[in-house]
Structure 1
Amino acid sequence: MNTNDPAGFWIRFGALVLDAIIVGVPLAIIAHALGVKYVTDIISFLYTLLTPVLWNGYTIGKRICGIRIVKISDGLPPSLGTMLLRHIVAGLIYGFTLGIALIVSATMVAAREDKRSIHDFIAGTEVVHERL
């Protein structure tokens, strides 16, 4: 039986917005100032891929919002392989469906009781409120 408290759409969206502001905006300013292309995309990808692996399932935005990514099987933080599934495989699906799967995924988080999205199912993860 799952005893985790799943994080819903708005708190997950808020964490994403915080990550974009705290990490994305400074990266974009630095990349623009240096005149380099794609550095923001590469560093942002590495940030979202590696930070949860190295920081117990958190990104900065998730930490501020009090939510984190865990593996559904054991409640442990995601591994690198788990995060690769979550980002690359799911990203390919979202791209191949021209964003339709992304809309379906957001609807799943909003409507499902377990609040799991397509990328959560692919990687065997869930986003939960941290236990106090």
Structure 2
Amino acid sequence: MSNEPPAPGPPPEDDPFRKRPQEPPGAPGSPGSPGSSEGGGAPPPPPPGGAGPYPGGPYGGEPPGGGGPYGGGPYGGDPYGGGPYGGGPYGYGGTDPLGGMPPLADTAKRVLARIVDWLVIAVPLALIGIPFGVYSRVSDESANLGDVWASGSGGGQWTFQLLSMLAYVAYDTLMTAKWNGQTLGKRMTGIRVAMLNDGSVPPTSAALMRALVLWLPALICCACLWPLLLLVLILVDKPYKQGLHDKAARTVVVSAAR
């Protein structure tokens, strides 16, 4: 008999939001299950008819309440009622990547969070822009950041335009990747950005891609049209309510409540 200690298991996950597979309480081999040696004694004999403790299989599948981290809790098992890819409202086949995650964020909360984030950056930039002479064209009713970029008039305005792009992209990237998927606006409204495949906090690369698609078109040429287009796509997209920035980064926005 070897006296060597058993090999250590894998290190625990650092990401508190990553979905972890769980064995349902009634599954064979789980602690306290009818077929487990833990919990003492042999498994009870099945009732007449061959059914297990819970109808539907030798062990009845799962006990009431489901087996996921939200099963039987405030989200009622699978947050999408079987999931759009698991026999849910959209009727596709396969497995729901969002199974076990909180519900998708409310669209109104997403809009409010975006307005807050825009103000967090726009107000300081408005003060910084004074020495760059960005308000010298205020008399032109059609003037906006996109016009300044397109016209190329004034080195100070070019510099301020580049500074604005850097500020918006860096803010969204760093906050999303380093603060549990939340900007200030998202934290205020109780929502967060999550990777579609496993619910984890987006890495820096995904957060950067999302920020570039989210902010650059609006800052360069489409200050009004681009945010409106993203909102329309979020409203009509099924089943994950993804804008183009979410699709590019493969992310979703979900409730941050745990």
Instruction: Report the TM range for the smaller structure's normalisation.
Output: 0.7 to 0.9
Change (3 A) 1:6 1:46: same
SS in 2 for 1:62: helix
Structure 1 vs Structure 2: percent identity of aligned residues? Answer: 26
Residues in 2 aligned to 1:104 and 1:4: alpha-carbon distance in whole angstroms: 26
TM-score normalised to structure 2 length: 0.44
Q: Is 1:19 the equivalent of 2:117? A: yes
CA RMSD, Structure 1 to Structure 2 (Å):
3.0
Which amino acid in structure 2 is aligned with residue 108 of structure 1? L
Question: Which moves more between the two structures, 43-52 or 99-108?
Answer: 99-108
Residues in 1 aligned to 2:166 and 2:216: alpha-carbon distance in whole angstroms: 16
1:7-65 superposed Cα distances (whole Å, 9 cap, x missing partner): 13221110011112233212321x13554623333222210111111111000011001
Aligned length: 131
After superposition, residues 37-116 of structure 1 pair within 5 angstroms as 37-38=160-161, 39-89=163-213, 103-112=228-237, 113-116=239-242
Which amino acid in structure 1 is aligned with residue 247 of structure 2? F
Match of 1:120 among 246, 252, 255: 246
Change (3 A) 1:8 1:108: farther
| Aligned partners of 1:58 and 1:68 also within 8 Å | yes
Which amino acid in structure 2 is aligned with residue 105 of structure 1? L
Change (3 A) 1:48 1:4: same
How big is the shift at 1:90?
A: 6.1
Question: Which moves more between the two structures, 35-44 or 5-14?
Answer: 35-44
Change (3 A) 1:89 1:62: closer
TM-score normalised to structure 1 length: 0.79
More relative contact order, 1 or 2 (CA 8 Å, 6+ apart)? 1
1:108-130 superposed Cα distances (whole Å, 9 cap, x missing partner): 31233422222212211001111
| Aligned partners of 2:121 and 2:167 also within 8 Å | no
Match of 1:8 among 103, 106, 126: 106
How big is the shift at 1:79?
A: 0.7
Structure 2: runs of 5+ lacking an equivalent: 1-95, 133-155
| Aligned partners of 2:115 and 2:185 also within 8 Å | yes
Question: Which moves more between the two structures, 2-11 or 122-131?
Answer: 2-11
- Return the index of the structure with the highest Cα Rg: 2
Match of 2:129 among 25, 32, 37: 32
Change (3 A) 1:12 1:83: same
Structure 1: runs of 5+ lacking an equivalent: none
Residues in 2 aligned to 1:93 and 1:44: alpha-carbon distance in whole angstroms: 12
SS in 2 for 1:77: coil
